[in-house]
């Protein structure tokens, strides 16, 4: 650490039950938390602060969002101990690169598994079409990145794509329309307020018995394990599409903005956060941490947890899909979830919603910088 440091490191953190268990690693006088919000809100607030030149020393970000923040982030290749990088899963590290530069260091890998009520579902649906046909009350995010990600999964599961090989948008397609229609049918079988749900509300609905099944991120494990309804919940493979079994994924990560005012102190904290002890804390909370040794060192908490881990590893190996790294992706995501949400609440039909997303994506990507 620098000896002339006059104040605490200023950090911006993603918030929520899946992520907050890590933050007591910070010493009481070590950091000042300038933002602590769900990820979409975090992104918006951080963009405002960085654009205004405000000091942020360490930033919680995500592999899909870091490209949009690239102008504000310090490349880490020459700043981070190579041994610290070598201890992390290579695929996770690769996801944190943009334009050849390592913009962030991975904290954890997020993919979903399906949790189902054993007392309500004698047969757990294997596909999206099965979920619809069975009339299952299935919980999923009805807004923001979780909704657009679920749309992405269904499109790719049908054999479609959101972008072609040249990263041109391919969103006004039969696959996209079918995906939106599927989400509308699933929402019709779920509680009326599903269109307002973010990730945490999906978990709450599952644990409150408001839905029969839901996709959950690894960090939800602690809440599932400890809930009164926990013994009735069982992990299963995430629903498959007609053509492919996929789940959208990426890495929560740590980045150093150009407004960092204490680089030595920040790098010391960054190395600690990607080190074995902090990463093991994430793994104990259920997350698939990026530190390979830390993940292997944390034992499964019983048979259900063992099965959950098997499913997560298989999903990462066989079914993980990610968005292409696009500097203006958040604009497409925002337009996308808003259009799909309009279909969920009945103010747009699937074809109109898909065309809206395509139109915005074409406009946005016309100015997309090379990366």
2 belongs to a structural domain: no
Q: What is the pLDDT of residue 4?
A: 39
341, 320, 46, 277 alpha-carbon torsion, rounded to 10°:
140
Domain range enclosing 343? 113-248+326-365
For residue 150, which phi and psi values (nearest 5 degrees)?
Answer: -65, -40
The H or E element that residue 238 is part of is none
Strands 233-236 and 138-139: unpaired
Do 118 and 187 share a structural domain? yes
Do 188 and 334 share a structural domain? yes
Cα dist. 350→44, 178, 184, 226, 341 in Å? 28, 7, 9, 39, 10
Q: What is the pLDDT of residue 6?
A: 55
119 belongs to a structural domain: yes
Do 24 and 173 share a structural domain? no
> Looking at residue 263, which CATH number applies to its domain?
3.40.190.10
Do 226 and 126 share a structural domain? yes
Q: What is the pLDDT of residue 27?
A: 81
| Domain count along the chain | 2
55 belongs to a structural domain: yes
Q: pTM score, two decimals?
A: 0.90
4 belongs to a structural domain: no
211 belongs to a structural domain: yes
Do 336 and 296 share a structural domain? no
Please name the residues in contact with 284: beta carbons below 8 A apart, sequence gap of 6 or more. 298
Do 219 and 237 share a structural domain? yes
Q: What is the pLDDT of residue 144?
A: 93
> Which residue's structure tokens are 């490191």?
9
Strands 213-216 and 138-139: parallel
Percent of the chain surpassing pLDDT 90:
88
Residue 269: Cβ within 10 Å count: 23
pLDDT digits (tens, 9 = 90+) for 325-337: 888 999 999 999 9
What ranges in the chain are assigned the alpha helix state H? Answer: 39-51, 82-86, 90-95, 128-134, 144-157, 174-188, 199-207, 221-226, 263-273, 276-284, 292-297, 303-318, 329-344, 350-365
Q: What is the pLDDT of residue 370?
A: 53
pLDDT digits (tens, 9 = 90+) for 124-145: 999 999 999 999 999 999 999 9
1 belongs to a structural domain: no
Strands 9-14 and 31-37: parallel
* CB of 238 closer than 8 Å to CB of 122: no
Separation between Cα atoms, residue 151 and residue 145, nearest integer Å: 10
Do 216 and 120 share a structural domain? yes
Do 209 and 84 share a structural domain? no
Please name the residues in contact with 334: beta carbons below 8 A apart, sequence gap of 6 or more. none
Do 345 and 207 share a structural domain? yes
Q: What is the pLDDT of residue 369?
A: 60
Separation between Cα atoms, residue 355 and residue 321, nearest integer Å: 23
Do 120 and 241 share a structural domain? yes
186 belongs to a structural domain: yes
Do 241 and 99 share a structural domain? no
Q: What is the pLDDT of residue 21?
A: 87
Do 101 and 160 share a structural domain? no
Mean pLDDT of the chain: 93
Separation between Cα atoms, residue 141 and residue 254, nearest integer Å: 25
319 belongs to a structural domain: no
* CB of 101 closer than 8 Å to CB of 72: no
Q: Mean pLDDT per segment of 10 residues, for the chain of length 371 residues?
A: 61 92 87 93 93 96 93 96 96 93 96 96 95 97 95 97 93 97 98 95 96 95 94 97 94 97 96 96 93 94 94 94 90 96 98 97 82 50
């Amino acid at each position: 650490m620098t000896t002339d440091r006059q104040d605490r490191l200023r950090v911006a953190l993603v918030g929520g039950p899946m992520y907050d268990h890590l933050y007591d690693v910070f010493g009481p006088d070590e950091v000042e938390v300038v933002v602590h919000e769900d990820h979409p809100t975090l992104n918006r607030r951080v963009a405002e602060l960085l654009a205004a030149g405000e000091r942020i020393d360490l930033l919680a970000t995500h592999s899909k969002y870091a490209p949009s923040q690239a102008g504000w982030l310090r490349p880490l290749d020459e700043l981070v101990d190579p041994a610290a990088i070598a201890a992390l899963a290579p695929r996770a590290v690769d996801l944190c690169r943009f334009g050849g530069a390592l913009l962030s260091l991975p904290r954890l890998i997020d993919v979903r598994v399906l949790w189902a009520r054993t007392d309500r579902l004698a047969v757990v649906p294997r596909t999206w079409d099965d979920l619809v046909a069975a009339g299952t009350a299935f919980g999923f995010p009805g807004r923001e990145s979780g909704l657009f990600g679920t749309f992405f999964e269904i499109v790719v599961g049908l054999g479609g794509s959101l972008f072609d090989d040249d990263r041109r948008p391919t969103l006004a397609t039969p696959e996209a329309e079918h995906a939106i229609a599927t989400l509308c049918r699933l929402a019709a079988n779920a509680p009326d307020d599903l269109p307002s749900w973010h990730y945490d509300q999906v978990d709450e609905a599952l644990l409150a018995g408001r839905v029969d099944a839901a996709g959950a991120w690894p960090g939800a494990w602690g809440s599932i394990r400890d809930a009164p309804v926990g013994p009735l919940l069982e992990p299963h493979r995430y629903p498959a599409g007609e053509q492919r079994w996929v789940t959208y994924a990426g890495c929560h990560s740590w980045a150093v903005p150009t407004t960092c005012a204490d680089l030595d102190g920040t790098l010391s904290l960054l190395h600690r956060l990607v080190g074995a002890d902090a990463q093991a804390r994430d793994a104990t909370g259920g997350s698939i941490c990026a530190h390979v040794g830390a993940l292997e060192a944390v034992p499964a908490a019983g048979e259900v947890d063992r099965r959950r881990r098997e499913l997560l590893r298989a999903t990462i190996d066989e079914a993980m899909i990610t968005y292409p790294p696009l500097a203006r992706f958040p604009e497409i995501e925002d337009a996308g979830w808003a259009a799909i949400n309009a279909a969920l609440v009945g103010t747009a039909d699937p074809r109109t919603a898909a065309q809206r997303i395509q139109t915005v994506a074409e406009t946005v990507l016309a100015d997309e910088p090379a990366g």
